[in-house]
């Protein structure tokens, strides 16, 4: 009996020792997870975008890269692939959902594949001025889009908005001042039913062409014109292939930063927080650069001597707004009245 008791005590002692060892091992595993991110073995964030390295987006992306390495002490690094080096307009969203890249900064209208409300940015004259836009970026209305169920169900998270600017029309045929001036022309447009309806309301046609292929399409006469921000026009050298620039401010072209949700949540919390801090600083820079670069690009376009700049009077702008009202009649239910009124209420 005494031998049985001693044997039982030895067995219990062994179990207790193993349990303590297992607990210690569990702590070691957690610590080991942190060690996976080191200067020798950093977490690599592949960041793909379609604009040039000297665009607003390109400069902000490069600064984000620098800040991530600085804030994480080299435990994370960003590989930036500008100018559609990895994926173009039509492919980068699929690349993100599949995990082939970890971060993209598309024009927000690219998200219509997942949620048609993202076409809000194309609704004519929805935003009044720069201050109105910034209020939206920081609002709960904007957060509801970035954190929508539609994105989450596709393994995507939205993190921030990067500004580009107001859109203006250019074309190769004649000055555009009145709605009837658009009739019969064909414009390059991003994908989206709202943009199709916009040009239809003006009596014009449209063709969906990737950003990187737009210069060639304008040069070859595949389309007569396009709509864009000053900075995109300037960095893409559209003044070489377009004769007339109308200062319409009819819509917005802005970007949003999206990440692969699974990848993002797999990062150690401390590093993810540091990357978020880096993104916040890069976002502030993007907003600042957008204003500066668009102003400088406008001067470049004017001073090129290759483009005639047409300024609209209040009366001419109001005529365009009236001509474009059918877009609201058609898409209010798609974009949703809540979103449209939510944005308007921020004025």
pLDDT for residue 253 is more than 50: yes
Q: Where residue 19 falls among pLDDT bands split at 50, 70, 90?
A: very low
209-249 residue pLDDT tens? 988 899 999 999 999 999 999 988 998 999 999 999 999 99
Query: How far apart (Å, rounded) are the C-alpha atoms in residues 311 and 302?
Result: 12
Q: Where residue 192 falls among pLDDT bands split at 50, 70, 90?
A: confident
Cβ neighbours of residue 293 closer than 8 Å, sequence gap 6 or more = 55, 56, 59, 230, 231
Residue environment code for 274-303, b if the CB has 16+ CB neighbours within 10 A, otherwise e: bbeebbebbbebbbebbeebbeebbebbee
Query: How far apart (Å, rounded) are the C-alpha atoms in residues 72 and 148?
Result: 29
Q: What are residue 23's phi and psi, to 5 degrees?
A: -65, -45
Q: How high is the pLDDT of residue 18?
A: 43
Q: At which residue do the structure tokens 């598309």 appear?
A: 106
Q: How high is the pLDDT of residue 55?
A: 83
pLDDT for residue 16 is more than 80: no
Angle at the Cα of 72 from the Cα atoms of 271 and 52, rounded to 5 degrees: 100
pLDDT for residue 22 is more than 70: no
Q: What is the mean pLDDT of the chain?
A: 90
Question: Which of 190, 188, 212, 189 minimizes the C-alpha distance to 82?
Answer: 212
Q: How high is the pLDDT of residue 35?
A: 37
86-96 residue pLDDT tens? 999 889 999 99
Question: Span 37-344: which CATH code?
Answer: 3.40.190.170
308-340 residue pLDDT tens? 999 999 999 999 999 999 999 999 999 999 999
DSSP structure string for 83-123: TTSS--TTTHHHHHHHTSSSEE--BGGGGGGT-GGGGGGGS
Residue 42 per-residue DSSP state: P
Question: Which of 169, 172, 160, 105 minimizes the C-alpha distance to 136?
Answer: 160
């Amino acid at each position: 009996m005494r031998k049985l008791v001693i044997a039982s005590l030895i067995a219990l002692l062994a179990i207790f020792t193993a349990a303590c060892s297992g607990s210690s091992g569990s702590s070691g595993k957690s610590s080991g997870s942190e060690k996976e991110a080191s200067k020798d073995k950093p977490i690599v964030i592949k960041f793909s975008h379609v604009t040039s390295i000297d665009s607003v987006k390109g400069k902000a992306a490069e600064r984000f890269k620098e800040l991530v390495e600085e804030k994480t002490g080299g435990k994370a690094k960003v590989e930036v692939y500008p100018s559609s080096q990895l994926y173009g307009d039509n492919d980068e969203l699929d690349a993100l959902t599949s995990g082939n890249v970890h971060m993209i900064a598309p024009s927000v209208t690219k998200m219509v594949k997942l949620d048609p409300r993202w076409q809000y940015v194309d609704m004519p004259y929805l935003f009044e001025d720069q201050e109105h836009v910034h209020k939206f970026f920081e609002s709960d209305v904007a957060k509801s889009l970035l954190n929508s169920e539609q994105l989450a169900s596709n393994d995507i998270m939205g993190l921030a908005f990067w500004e580009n600017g107001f859109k203006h029309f250019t074309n190769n045929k004649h000055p555009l001042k009145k709605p009837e001036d658009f009739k019969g022309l064909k414009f390059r447009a991003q994908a989206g039913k709202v943009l199709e309806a916009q040009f239809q309301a003006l009596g014009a046609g449209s063709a969906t062409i990737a950003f990187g292929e737009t210069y060639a399409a304008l040069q070859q006469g595949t389309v007569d014109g396009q709509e864009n921000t000053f900075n995109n026009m300037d960095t893409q050298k559209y003044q070489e292939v377009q004769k007339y620039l109308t200062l319409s401010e009819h819509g917005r072209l802005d970007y949003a930063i999206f990440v692969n949700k699974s990848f993002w949540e797999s990062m150690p919390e401390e590093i993810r927080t540091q990357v978020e801090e880096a993104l916040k600083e890069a976002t502030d820079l993007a907003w600042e650069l957008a204003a500066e670069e668009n102003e400088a690009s406008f001067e470049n376009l004017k001073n090129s001597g290759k483009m005639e700049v047409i300024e609209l009077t209040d009366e001419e702008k109001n005529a365009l707004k009236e001509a474009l009202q059918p877009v609201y009649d058609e898409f209010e239910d798609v974009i949703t009245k809540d979103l449209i009124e939510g944005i308007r209420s921020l004025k």
